[in-house]
Amino acid sequence: MPDDTCIPAEEFTQQAATLKQLLAANADAVDFADFGEGYTGDEICAAEQALGICFPPSYRWWLKNYGGGTIGGMKSIACTKGP
């Protein structure tokens, strides 16, 4: 994890593991890509360049590993692929 995170890398890793467990335990309420099947680094960079911003490392992690989806029928924040 890059050094520019708001929390220490070890704590982020623990939180990411907890999130993965929560999503797995509530699979009937969530609809995401399988872990690790989100967007590629190139796709994330292209989105950042198109918007003229840099995403926070935690959001880049989310996009890379899940990409987005729904929780209880509500969409999570994600980038969508264009035509």
Q: Which of 9, 5, 27 is nearest to 17 (CA)?
A: 9
Q: Where are the domains of the chain?
A: 28-83
Provide the pLDDT for residue 1. Answer: 39
Each residue's pLDDT expressed in tens, for the chain with a length of 83 residues: 344 446 677 888 888 888 888 888 888 888 877 777 888 999 999 989 998 999 888 888 888 888 878 888 877 766 666 55
Q: How far is it, in rounded angstroms, from Cα 29 to Cα 53?
A: 32
- The verdict on pTM exceeding 0.85 is no
Provide the pLDDT for residue 83. Answer: 52
Q: How far is it, in rounded angstroms, from Cα 49 to Cα 53?
A: 7
| Residue 74 phi, psi dihedral angles, 5° rounding | -100, 135
Beta bridge partners of 71: 30, 74
